[in-house]
């Protein structure tokens, strides 16, 4: 569990960390010190104007009050003749300070108040892992890694070479914080560094300089700030090749010059948005007459994470996806893109002994901050929901519901403001053909192309093409019924989750469902499924005023949840089984080295699918992760989550188990 920092403010108004007995910034002029030590000594003014890539990455040890980030952001906004389009700032923090303390500390810098306010609005919960915060409509990205820096650095996913261009080696003084200032830290810095990466640090301690030199940095002493006589700066001598397995890093940097997206749901719109904010124009192909006619067409969809009592891959994936989605949707709304939604919380009901045990484990795990999920008894559940529920459970305060069709349209509209795209509705793509000049889309009477890249976000139809027919996706049909509200049910003030879910009323109707029919891709609505949904709800709430007040089912919608056997989405380069078997045949011999170079016969063809029933929660960050990987930018998911999402995972898993 991540613990917040315990701090107090000294007589000068400077925040002091109780655990380290050290100030977060100088009593004299912390802002000037930050600018001199880190921004200027890394030569960033000149490098921002001459950098060879479109993005620049700064990494910092010790986020603290965020002063270094805010100063760098401010200077970035002021820099003229920028050569870069996006600024990434990665920062590690073992003990994040509380939001109230952050606001108090940043009052010392009124000149940064506008940026400080934006940081405080998005400042994340104290949850382990990477929190991706986006500012200036995606031009400035802050990746806040909460946890011990020694644990976090090895989790960063990157390609064969590092990602960091400049290091702010900060944190409390080595004498106050010896656990951080270790050789493992300096080695990890070198491992994550790009060619010509620089560093700057306020300390001139000999063991720090020697440790950096041993890691491969050239070091020199320069004048320190103010009363400090010396500090150390330097540059990496040679880039370190990544020593971990290349299994999940086969796609090369894509030249995304002309992109096609097949599909019209929330994943398609999110993908289009993340491409557009990087200046990539796309063409959308949808077989329906408008957006969100497939799995994204329900009147209301619950938005909440699937959390477990252990912080494994699923919990990390869903927790951070949910928190990013919540920030993303709030930003859309703030920018004026309208969609029906209500952050009314989601109440997970302990409807039986099994659920009660499961919920107790989650609540007692102490992994998650209570602002994310907390245990509630029956009395508290009734107060939260405003109905006579007979159960306690878990409450996810930040969750709620959105209108999927309206949200999909809002994200699409936001993408158009950044980069206009062509839209082809009522267009079913029947085949994909690759030629020397790119990919062509065969729609029967018409052919579109060439495209440098094609992204298939077609839900249950993702496997209809020759190149994707063996990806292993299967459909789970679900029907949601719309039932008329009653006097008691109209007072429901949160989303209820039992075996299914039940939403607060909108326009006099509740969404009730959903059925679960495995290995089906039918969208046909049936009366029997309405009966099943009603009987299931009554089975849990029979005899309550809430249940007795409900009216009749007035309509319904059926859709197909797309899943894989491991219940995780699949994003990235479409794989060819024979190609992988040839390139990585050493795996069958227990050797995870000496691999051949894969041929990648489907290079430029990507899939974005398998979201199950949680696309509203996961699609925004999953698509951001995919696009960032194609641009070789820092990735928001950890190495283990990246591998869990990769299209090669199921084939490699079978190879390891000698099943193929």
Q: What is the pLDDT of residues 100-128, one digit of tens each?
A: 999 999 999 999 999 999 999 999 999 99
Contact 55, 633 (CB under 8 A): yes
Contact 618, 317 (CB under 8 A): yes
User: What are the tokens at 516?
Assistant: 């679960």
Contact 377, 347 (CB under 8 A): no
Q: What is the pLDDT of residues 2-49, one digit of tens each?
A: 999 899 988 878 888 888 888 877 777 889 999 999 999 999 999 999
Residue among 371, 289, 265 at smallest CA distance from 613: 265
Q: What is the pLDDT of residue 242?
A: 56
DSSP string, 240-282: PPP-S--TT--PPPP--SSEEEE--SHHHHHHHHHHHTTT--E
Does position 153 have pLDDT exceeding 80, yes or no? yes
139-160: burial string, b at 16+ Cβ within 10 Å, e else:
bbbbbbbbbbbeebbebbbbee
Does position 289 have pLDDT exceeding 60, yes or no? yes
Confidence band, pLDDT 50/70/90 cuts, at residue 322: very high
Does position 659 have pLDDT exceeding 90, yes or no? no
Q: What is the pLDDT of residues 584-597, one digit of tens each?
A: 999 988 888 888 88
275-313: burial string, b at 16+ Cβ within 10 Å, e else:
bbbbebbbbbbbbbeebbbbbbbbbbbbbbbbbbbebeb
3-state secondary structure at position 168: strand
Which CATH homologous superfamily contains domain 7-236?
Vaccinia Virus protein VP39 (3.40.50.150)
* Widest distance between CA atoms in the chain: 80
Q: What is the pLDDT of residue 244?
A: 46
Residue 90, strand partner residues = 59, 143
DSSP string, 447-510: EEEEESEEEE--GGGGGGSTTTTTS--EEEEEEEEEEE--TTGGG--SEEESSSEEPPPBTTEE
How would you write 296-355 as a 3-class SS string? Answer: CCCCCEEECCCCCCCCCHHHHHHHHHHHHHHHHHHHHHHCCCCCCEECCCEEEECCCHHH
Q: What is the mean pLDDT of residues 605-623?
A: 96
Least trusted range by pLDDT, from 178-182, 387-391, 519-523: 519-523
Q: What is the pTM of this model?
A: 0.96
User: What are the tokens at 310?
Assistant: 């252990």
Taking the C-alpha atoms of residue 126 and residue 323, their distance in angstroms, rounded to an integer, is 12
Residue positions counted in the chain: 660
Taking the C-alpha atoms of residue 165 and residue 173, their distance in angstroms, rounded to an integer, is 23
Residue among 278, 250, 272, 293 at smallest CA distance from 619: 272
Other CB atoms within a 10 A radius of the CB of residue 131 amount to 23
Q: What is the mean pLDDT of residues 433-455?
A: 96
Does position 246 have pLDDT exceeding 80, yes or no? no
What does the mean pLDDT of the chain come to?
93
Q: Report angle CA 136, 67, 627 to the nearest 5 degrees.
A: 35
% of the chain residues with pLDDT over 90: 83
Q: What is the pLDDT of residue 487?
A: 96
Least trusted range by pLDDT, from 14-18, 223-227, 463-467, 473-477: 14-18
Q: What is the pLDDT of residue 255?
A: 73
Q: What is the mean pLDDT of residues 377-389?
A: 97
CA 400 to chain centre: 18
The reply to whether 346-397+477-558 shares the fold of 259-294+406-473+566-656 is no
Q: What is the mean pLDDT of residues 523-547?
A: 95
Taking the C-alpha atoms of residue 90 and residue 69, their distance in angstroms, rounded to an integer, is 9
Q: What is the pLDDT of residues 39-79, one digit of tens each?
A: 999 999 999 999 999 999 999 999 999 999 999 999 999 99
% of the chain residues with pLDDT over 70: 98
Residue 360: partners with Cβ closer than 8 Å, 6 or more residues away: 375
Q: What is the mean pLDDT of residues 195-216?
A: 94
User: What are the tokens at 397?
Assistant: 């305060």
Confidence band, pLDDT 50/70/90 cuts, at residue 519: confident
Domain formed by 259-294+406-473+566-656, architecture: 3-Layer(bba) Sandwich (3.50)
Query: Per-domain residue ranges for the chain?
Result: 7-236, 259-294+406-473+566-656, 346-397+477-558
Q: What is the pLDDT of residue 480?
A: 97
346-397+477-558 folds as D-Amino Acid Oxidase; Chain A, domain 2 (3.30.9)
Omega before 514 within 30 of 0, i.e. cis = yes
Confidence band, pLDDT 50/70/90 cuts, at residue 418: very high
Contact 158, 57 (CB under 8 A): no
Residue 319: partners with Cβ closer than 8 Å, 6 or more residues away: 127, 129, 305, 307, 368, 372
E-assigned strand segments in 582-649 = 605-609
Contact 442, 431 (CB under 8 A): yes
Taking the C-alpha atoms of residue 72 and residue 52, their distance in angstroms, rounded to an integer, is 19
Contact 402, 300 (CB under 8 A): yes
Residue recorded with tokens 């650095």: 153
Does position 241 have pLDDT exceeding 70, yes or no? no
Q: What is the mean pLDDT of residues 521-529?
A: 91
3-state secondary structure at position 22: strand
Least trusted range by pLDDT, from 225-229, 418-422, 485-489, 568-572: 225-229
Q: Say which residue, 257 or 381, is predicted with more confidence.
A: 381
User: What are the tokens at 210?
Assistant: 């020697």
């Amino acid at each position: 569990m991540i613990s917040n920092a315990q701090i107090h403010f000294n007589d000068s108004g400077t925040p002091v960390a109780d655990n380290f007995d050290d100030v977060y910034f100088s009593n004299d002029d912390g802002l000037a010190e930050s600018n001199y030590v880190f921004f200027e000594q890394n030569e960033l003014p000149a490098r921002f104007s001459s950098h060879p890539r479109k993005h620049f990455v700064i990494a910092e040890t010790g986020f603290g009050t965020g002063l270094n980030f805010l100063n760098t952001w401010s200077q970035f906004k002021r820099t003229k003749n920028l050569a870069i389009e996006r600024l990434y700032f990665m920062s590690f923090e073992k003990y994040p300070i509380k939001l109230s303390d952050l606001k108090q500390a940043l009052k010392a810098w009124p000149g940064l108040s506008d940026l400080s306010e934006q940081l405080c609005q998005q400042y994340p919960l104290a949850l382990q892992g990477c929190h991706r915060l986006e500012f200036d409509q995606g031009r400035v990205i802050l990746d806040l890694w909460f946890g011990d820096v020694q644990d976090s650095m090895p989790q960063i996913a990157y390609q064969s070479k590092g990602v960091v261009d400049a290091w702010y080696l900060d944190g409390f003084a080595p004498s106050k914080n010896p656990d951080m200032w270790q050789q493992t830290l300096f080695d990890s810095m070198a491992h994550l560094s790009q060619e010509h990466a620089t560093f700057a640090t306020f300390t001139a301690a000999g063991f720090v300089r020697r440790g950096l030199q041993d890691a491969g940095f050239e070091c020199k002493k320069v004048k320190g700030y103010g009363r400090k006589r010396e500090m150390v700066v330097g540059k990496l001598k040679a880039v370190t090749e990544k020593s971990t397995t290349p299994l999940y890093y086969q796609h090369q940097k894509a030249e995304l010059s002309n992109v096609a997206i097949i599909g019209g749901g929330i994943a398609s719109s999110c993908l289009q948005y993340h491409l557009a904010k990087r200046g990539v124009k796309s063409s959308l192909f949808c077989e329906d007459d408008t957006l969100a006619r497939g799995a994204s067409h329900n009147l209301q969809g619950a938005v909440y994470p699937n959390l477990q009592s252990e912080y494994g891959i699923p919990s990390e994936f869903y927790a951070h996806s949910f928190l990013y989605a919540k920030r993303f949707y709030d930003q859309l709304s703030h920018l004026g893109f309208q969609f029906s939604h209500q952050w009314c919380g989601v109440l997970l009901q302990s409807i039986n002994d099994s659920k009660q045990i499961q919920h107790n484990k989650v609540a007692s795990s102490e992994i998650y901050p209570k602002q994310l999920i907390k245990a509630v008894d029956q009395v508290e559940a009734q107060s939260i929901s405003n109905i006579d529920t007979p159960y306690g459970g878990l409450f996810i305060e930040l969750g709620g519901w959105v209108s999927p069709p309206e949200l999909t349209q809002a994200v699409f509209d936001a993408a158009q403001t950044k980069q206009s795209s062509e839209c082809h509705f009522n267009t079913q793509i029947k085949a994909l053909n690759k030629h020397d000049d790119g990919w062509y889309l065969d729609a029967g009477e018409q052919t579109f192309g060439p495209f440098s890249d094609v992204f298939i976000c077609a839900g249950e139809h993702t496997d209809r093409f020759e190149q994707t027919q063996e990806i292993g996706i299967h459909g789970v049909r679900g029907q949601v019924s719309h039932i008329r509200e009653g006097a008691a049910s109209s007072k429901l003030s949160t989303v209820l989750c039992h075996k299914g879910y039940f939403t607060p009323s909108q326009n006099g109707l509740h969404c009730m469902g959903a059925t679960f029919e495995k290995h089906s891709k039918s969208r046909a609505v049936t009366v029997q499924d309405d009966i099943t949904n009603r009987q299931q709800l009554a089975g849990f709430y029979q005899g309550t005023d809430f249940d007795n007040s409900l009216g009749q089912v007035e309509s319904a919608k059926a859709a197909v949840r797309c899943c894989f056997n491991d219940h995780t989405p699949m994003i990235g380069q479409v794989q060819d089984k024979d190609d992988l078997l040839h390139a990585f045949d050493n795996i069958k011999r227990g050797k995870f080295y000496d691999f051949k170079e894969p041929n990648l016969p489907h290079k430029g063809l990507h899939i974005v699918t398998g979201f199950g029933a949680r696309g509203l929660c996961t699609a925004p960050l999953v698509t951001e992760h995919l696009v960032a990987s194609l641009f070789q930018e820092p990735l928001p998911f950890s190495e283990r989550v990246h591998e869990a999402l990769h299209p090669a995972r199921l084939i490699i898993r079978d190879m390891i188990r000698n099943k193929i």
